[in-house]
Structure 1
Amino acid sequence: MKNKKLYILAALAITLSSCGKELDEVNINPNNTENAQPDYLLTGAIKNTVDAYWSTTNTMNSSSLFVQHWAKVQYTEEDRFIYSNSSFTSLWSTGYSQSITAFNKIAQLGDAQANPNYKGVALVLRSWVFLLLTDAYGDVPYSQAGKISDFITPAYDKQKDVYFGLLTDLKAAKTALDPAGKAISGDIIYSGNIARWKKLANSLRLRIALRIADKEPARAKQVLDEIAADGDTYLSDNTDVAQLIYLTSPQQNPVSALFETRDDYRVSKTLVDKLFALNDPRLPVYASKTQTPTPEEYIGVPNGSTNSEASALGFAKTSKPGAYFLLPQAPAVIFSYSELLFDRAEAAARGLTTENAADLYKQAIKASLKQYNISDATADTYAAQAAVQYDASNYKKSIGEQKWIALFGQGLEAWAEQRRLDYPQLSASVNTVLNGKIPVRFIYPGTEQSLNGQSYKNAVSSQGADLLTTKLWFDAF
């Protein structure tokens, strides 16, 4: 409807040029401000982006199924990887039409108002959005994205170039951010604490350095050396966790909102069984006891069940997510301190830094448990188990499995890390439709073929077929 109105106005402007002034006045919305304010834009853009990140479409119906954190107990088509080219539109449309556009505007307003902290925060968040997009789809519009007046049909950049560009953007963001500079408003993640935004910028640089480490180890080391040389810090404890803490209905966590009206999802049997095997104290946090008492108390649903198989398991005899995740105020985590420590442990294990990998690994596990208010004593007992202790001969297995547990709820990030580290080693159900494979990417939205056809074709020609099973550049093994 909006596009139709604009086309009509454009036609009238050509044929009735003498009425231009009147048309300009008619086309002004009296309910909208003519001067965008960065604080209001920032609040809205953060909320829209985090909602998409934590949403049903991008987590519970896709990435959290692929990584076997969640499973479906009815309407199990997605758990069997039955998708169409409209299934993965949400992340793309929100990322490009809302998030990136808004963060670009905030950066511009920061320049116009001589407040570089707005620009720095916008660059950090925009980089995170681009990272989500390329991790999920592969080659995506980056250098021409969000510049609608110049590029109606933006070209797709190669994934390697997107990662390299984001490293440059985050370095610029870190430089722009000044804790002693002008204050910002509208920040519903860190409440205007610029020092924490600087830490997040560096932490995202570390995340990307590890994304490229299998393909570009020299560049990954260069990034970490630059951060160390500048004397910069990463997230330094659980108070630095980047997260959006939701409010009550209707501004509640998307998971909580979903379970108000639907009951399609359960915790995956893969995860529940692993937590049982490790005597993991996060089990009652991640999963609820079965509604009908069972000897096991917690029962996960096998991924890839048919509708009849899932129905036979029963709603009352399988475990919903834990109460923590069903609270309206449950936080949507963007970057945890636990993840940061696992990243540092891996960087050390790869020889990219001189830190102690085993010590950082243990700290990461303890930070994950502490995130859920589990005591240090319990965490020490858990970490001391032989099955949990760090194995320097296979750091990818140790870090990959424990990071997978720690990232529960963060479907897109957990999926990216499982593809990169190849742990835990997951198996697809015989009921799935990809010949025993698990999806390794989102397919592009079908609208790209009709609205940006040549760029889409170029991307497919470069990257490979637009299929769920086409491996991305970062997914080296």
Structure 2
Amino acid sequence: MTSCFKNFDELRENPNYPSTVEPESLFANVLYTNTGSFYGAQGQYFNLTGAGLWAQQFAKIQYIDEDWYQYRASVMDEKWKRMYSGISGTSNLAGLYDLELALAEVRKRKAVYEEEGNAQGIADAKVLEGAMLVAKVYFFSVTTDVWGDIPYSEAFQTIDLGFDQTNFQPKYDAQKEIYDDFFVLLEDANTLLSSNGSIDSGADIIYRGNAARWRMLANSLAARLYTRISKVDAAKSRTGLTKLFSDKGTYPMFSSNEDDAELVYLGSQPYMQPIYYNAYIDNRNDFAISTTIIELLKENDDKRLYIFAQPTRASMTKPEDAEEDWIPSPEYIGQENGVPAAEAPGFTEVSMIGNLYREQPAGKSFWMTFSELKFIEAEAALNGISGVSGTPESLVAEGIEASFTKQYADIEAYAAPVYPIDGDVVSDPYSDAAIVINNLDWSKNGGKERVIAEQKYLSNFTNGPEVFAELRRTGWPAISEIRGGTVYQGKGLPNRFPYPFSEQTTNSANWSAASQGINDTMYGKKIWFAENTSVNYK
């Protein structure tokens, strides 16, 4: 018996599954797989058949259930589990728990360096910790913005993280309290990221080790989240935004498109742009561009139409009886969201998602852009926030220009073709942006707030989680009523993603408390930041 227990602690270690992993490795995996859980090939249902669909940037042309708000329970369970715990096994897809492990490891490393008096080691550990905090806030903000109250403060109480026992039934924190903690974490991140340390570029697939840009993201993200709460906690929103905009030295933010937080895919399987992956690896043809976004683009003669959408295949296909010198005449037709099944269009009759997204394996997913920040500033200027430089009109113009320059640069970089309608011309980004700027109707119903919201909605094309959040917060743009389906017809846009059914059995008491006031799984009680807003319909 004594020989059986000799060196037992060493023998029970599985070299294929080490108990301690370098925080850089954990961080890299979390950045890829959690971004993927929102946008990427391994989590496309969060965006394409969830947030982006319900915000009416996309529309379904077959298997229309989700466009009728008739979600699949197993898919909602998977979305939730991916975010928190990831997926173990051969794929080893990380979740937010892995990020918490990485934070614990880098803090241990920092403590060792502090004992040793290693100044550079301390600085490096600080900036890595700061970047991880920004990522934590970003991932959790998207999660709470779609579900509302979620497990947060008790979510990762495990033995591995130093707790006496693992908590398998964490409480659901109120969204307001979660947001309060976000602001604390982003303040901490801003301080940590000013430490003149460096981040291993291999661990950072967003900024390739650029700590300065992580710091810009921390404060730009804080501006987004302070804006998010403006209709439910105006005083805190105003104080936070004033602090940020009045002291850009202490709180640097994005200053150009080069600062955008985005993940660039390699273009080889499975690291491919998610809309391309859906079409060509999964061999699906489920999605068209929504009528809602097509109408917004056409309203102001917006040339981004030719980037966000493709011409209908019917308009680009030569008829059998056509003359030999036939020339295609591109048409752009959006698909109405949630039509009755009998009205589902043929694939050739509506516009697919644009070439830059659907046809490019090495495309991008983005968290936040400089263009979005300009629209945040425009809304702040409209609300009289101190420290904002510019008027709502001038800042909207800057945001539109930033969006055009980014989109035009990307279609050039990816050699993505555009097909203007007969008689139209795509020029340079500044000239084409000026057309939109000059066509804006600031006196339309909803006024300046509506114009800002609509242009932010367009600049955030393909970022479904963000446009879904802002649609519920501002009520704009006006969307189509869903005419098809049998379960939720006439109820309007869901207030939230439904909680996964697995929570009812594994965390019943806490799930039940969080579900008070919710009816039909998605209606009734609204998400906190949108509780004072009504969505507008066409």
Q: Fold match, TM over 0.5?
A: yes
User: For 1:434, what is the secondary structure of its paired residue?
Assistant: coil
| Alignment partner of 2:470 out of 407, 417, 425 | 417
Q: Is the 8 A contact 2:152 2:173 kept in 1?
A: yes
Q: Which moved more, 1:129-138 or 1:285-294?
A: 285-294
1:161 paired to 2:177: yes
Q: Is the 8 A contact 1:117 1:177 kept in 2?
A: yes
User: How far off is 1:395 after superposition?
Assistant: 2.5
| Alignment partner of 1:447 out of 498, 502, 508 | 502
Q: Is the 8 A contact 2:371 2:402 kept in 1?
A: yes
User: How far off is 1:455 after superposition?
Assistant: 1.0
2:362 equivalent in structure 1: 329
Q: Is the 8 A contact 1:349 1:392 kept in 2?
A: no
Q: Is the 8 A contact 2:190 2:251 kept in 1?
A: no
Q: Is the 8 A contact 2:48 2:464 kept in 1?
A: yes
Q: Is the 8 A contact 1:390 1:398 kept in 2?
A: no
> Following superposition of structure 1 onto structure 2, how do residues 254-333 of structure 1 map, counting pairs within 5 Å?
254-260=274-280, 261-293=283-315, 297-310=331-344, 313-326=345-358, 327-333=360-366
Q: Percent identity?
A: 31
Q: 1:392 to 1:108 in 2, by over 3 A?
A: farther
User: How far off is 1:148 after superposition?
Assistant: 2.4
Supply the distance in 2 between the matched residues of 1:384 and 1:299 (Cα, whole angstroms): 24
User: How far off is 1:468 after superposition?
Assistant: 1.5
User: How far off is 1:393 after superposition?
Assistant: 7.6
Q: Is the 8 A contact 2:83 2:96 kept in 1?
A: yes
Task: State the TM-score, normalized to the length of structure 1.
Answer: 0.91
Q: 1:392 to 1:339 in 2, by over 3 A?
A: farther
Q: In structure 2, what residue type is equivalent to 1:130?
A: F
User: For 1:384, what is the secondary structure of its paired residue?
Assistant: helix
| Alignment partner of 2:403 out of 350, 368, 380 | 368
What do residues 112-140 of structure 1 show as CA deviations (whole Å, max 9, x unaligned)?
22211111111100111110111000001
1:65 equivalent in structure 2: 53
Supply the distance in 2 between the matched residues of 1:444 and 1:17 (Cα, whole angstroms): 51
Q: 1:404 to 1:315 in 2, by over 3 A?
A: same
Supply the distance in 1 between the matched residues of 2:289 and 2:223 (Cα, whole angstroms): 30
Supply the distance in 2 between the matched residues of 1:78 and 1:342 (Cα, whole angstroms): 30
User: How far off is 1:397 after superposition?
Assistant: 0.6
User: For 2:230, what is the secondary structure of its paired residue?
Assistant: coil
Supply the distance in 2 between the matched residues of 1:458 and 1:308 (Cα, whole angstroms): 41
Supply the distance in 2 between the matched residues of 1:21 and 1:306 (Cα, whole angstroms): 70
Supply the distance in 2 between the matched residues of 1:370 and 1:363 (Cα, whole angstroms): 10
User: How far off is 1:347 after superposition?
Assistant: 1.4
Q: 1:454 to 1:37 in 2, by over 3 A?
A: same
Q: Which moved more, 1:296-305 or 1:115-124?
A: 296-305
1:198 paired to 2:220: no
Q: Is the 8 A contact 1:179 1:195 kept in 2?
A: no
Supply the distance in 2 between the matched residues of 1:20 and 1:277 (Cα, whole angstroms): 76
Supply the distance in 1 between the matched residues of 2:172 and 2:520 (Cα, whole angstroms): 14
1:91 equivalent in structure 2: 79
Supply the distance in 2 between the matched residues of 1:396 and 1:340 (Cα, whole angstroms): 15
1:141 equivalent in structure 2: 151
Please report the RMSD computed on the Cα atoms of aligned residues, expressed in angstroms. 2.2
1:181 paired to 2:182: no
1:349 equivalent in structure 2: 382
| Alignment partner of 2:268 out of 229, 249, 254 | 249
1:207 paired to 2:261: no
What do residues 297-337 of structure 1 show as CA deviations (whole Å, max 9, x unaligned)?
11111111233321xx2112221111100211111010011
What do residues 6-61 of structure 1 show as CA deviations (whole Å, max 9, x unaligned)?
xxxxxxxxxx9996668755643222345311222121111101111114211111
Q: Is the 8 A contact 1:91 1:133 kept in 2?
A: no
Q: Is the 8 A contact 1:58 1:90 kept in 2?
A: no
> Following superposition of structure 1 onto structure 2, how do residues 214-253 of structure 1 map, counting pairs within 5 Å?
214-227=231-244, 228-229=246-247, 231-250=250-269, 251-253=271-273
| Alignment partner of 1:39 out of 8, 24, 29 | 24
Q: 1:415 to 1:24 in 2, by over 3 A?
A: same
What do residues 218-258 of structure 1 show as CA deviations (whole Å, max 9, x unaligned)?
11122123333463121111000000000112111121111
Q: Is the 8 A contact 1:358 1:392 kept in 2?
A: no
2:423 equivalent in structure 1: none
2:418 equivalent in structure 1: none
Supply the distance in 2 between the matched residues of 1:323 and 1:47 (Cα, whole angstroms): 23
Q: Specify every segment of 5 or more residues in structure 2 that has no aligned partner in the other structure, as ranges.
A: 86-93, 111-124, 317-328, 409-427, 534-538
Q: Specify every segment of 5 or more residues in structure 1 that has no aligned partner in the other structure, as ranges.
A: 1-15
2:127 equivalent in structure 1: 117
User: How far off is 1:354 after superposition?
Assistant: 4.6
User: How far off is 1:274 after superposition?
Assistant: 2.3
User: For 1:274, what is the secondary structure of its paired residue?
Assistant: helix
Supply the distance in 2 between the matched residues of 1:73 and 1:118 (Cα, whole angstroms): 44
Q: Is the 8 A contact 2:403 2:459 kept in 1?
A: yes
1:403 equivalent in structure 2: 456
Supply the distance in 2 between the matched residues of 1:360 and 1:293 (Cα, whole angstroms): 38
1:464 equivalent in structure 2: 518
User: For 1:332, what is the secondary structure of its paired residue?
Assistant: strand
User: For 1:298, what is the secondary structure of its paired residue?
Assistant: coil
Q: Is the 8 A contact 2:198 2:210 kept in 1?
A: no
Supply the distance in 1 between the matched residues of 2:98 and 2:443 (Cα, whole angstroms): 43
Q: Is the 8 A contact 1:200 1:242 kept in 2?
A: yes
| Alignment partner of 1:152 out of 144, 168, 173 | 168
Q: Is the 8 A contact 2:300 2:440 kept in 1?
A: no
Q: 1:180 to 1:465 in 2, by over 3 A?
A: same
